Chains A and B, each alone.
Chain A
């Protein structure tokens, strides 16, 4: 990111800038202050998605950059922590998708279960191991067809709720109910796998 240039032509680090969204933080708080204050919580969120400390560091840096770039999108001062949480969550998921795509593109195969990384695992391996993918597909197969189809259209085909409603001939609220119940049921069946060692 280009450093901000002051009226006197002096360059200052973005992290030293005053928050550009007025009244979002305490009057003297800067973006750097915000990041320093919330770093622990943000790293914890990232850690729920990644198993690798180096990867957490990478995503934390990405979160810092996104905060600087998107500060203007923050709507409410009181929502700053929730906004930061969402950025951390999205950055973590984006990182996992990039990592997985890179592995598949390079090798044409699923990630090696014994690929190197912290604790002997690749950063995305804990998430996308064969064991987990198989368990998820089995759990998905046990859902009622109506919920399974809604989830498949939403996640696999990327349709939005209106498109799913049109496809299935039901209203949008019914789609959200099916998605909500289906996702809850999947998590219930997979909680040991996905939260046991997170």
Chain B
């Protein structure tokens, strides 16, 4: 436990070394949020509701989804692909630490740091632009779904990095996947405004369980316990874990690296 606490502390210290990088990264996140937030703010100038959403619910969804996505998608696994390609990954494999726990700790650090700053930014946006916001609800269920979403995101991001065991061209799959993810996970709007058939089809994929579902619960959109969605989120946690372990085992067996 002490080892991973040290990893957590060291990762935080890394952020303080590259302060400018981190500030610029947060600035980019704020800009991206503003585009989508103001688009929907403008939509509600002419209408009181969008689908079944009132203005306060919708804007709260956009802001909370952004906050939660900062946590769920915060990751340091992006380093893994280049570490595999240039052989640096051997440094981790030779250490007496679990590869998965080591990177999960680093991910967790990234998530906490990003969440802290995102919270501050969103409070600022709500205050400056006087955005309506609904208080958080169903906290326990939200936390359960958040944990599942975080695990799914972690396993998928590992999976994308493990592509590097077989090719150096890892940026293509990552770019395509994250493009799909931002739209299909509900960054731009709550997924239930889509036509019912598309929405139901999306519930069979892992995307809604990353942050759409936790956000929906948080703003009180689920009147009864969403049993199917909860069950599916567990299915995706287990399925992605099995796949990632399988790919890892295959990858490490075919792995060769450049010695120095």
Real binding pair: no
